[in-house]
Amino acid sequence: MISLRRKKKIRRTGLGLIAVMVLMVCGIVTYNRQELDKANEKSAVRIAELNDDIDQENEQAKELEEQKAYVQTKKYIEEMARKKLGLVYKDEIIFKAEE
């Protein structure tokens, strides 16, 4: 038969091992939690950057729509005909500076 002292020593050793294992598991969980928090912060920053990019692209799309509407106006067509092609109305007089 095992003596009473020996039983207490075995019990203490077993409880000590269990305590060490529990502390190890808690340490691992805490470490992984910190890593996940860091990854979450990085993801939040990336999401904010992407939202800013989306806003900029939406603004650019709006400007392009406005430009598209302007390009289809008669005023724009006249400006381009004057600048690019040098066209004028029949009753207009053109003055050129001497060189």
Location of structure tokens 């020593």:
9
Q: What is the mean pLDDT of residues 50-75?
A: 96
Whether the predicted pLDDT of 1 surpasses 60: no
Sequence-ordered list of residues with C-beta below 8 angstroms from that of 76, at least 6 positions apart, any chain? 70
Whether the predicted pLDDT of 62 surpasses 70: yes
- State CA 91 to chain mean position distance: 58
Structure tokens, 68: 């598209």
Q: What is the mean pLDDT of the chain?
A: 90
The pLDDT of residue 2: 63
Q: Are 87 and 81 in contact (CB under 8 A)?
A: yes
- pLDDT tier at 46 (50, 70, 90 boundaries)? very high
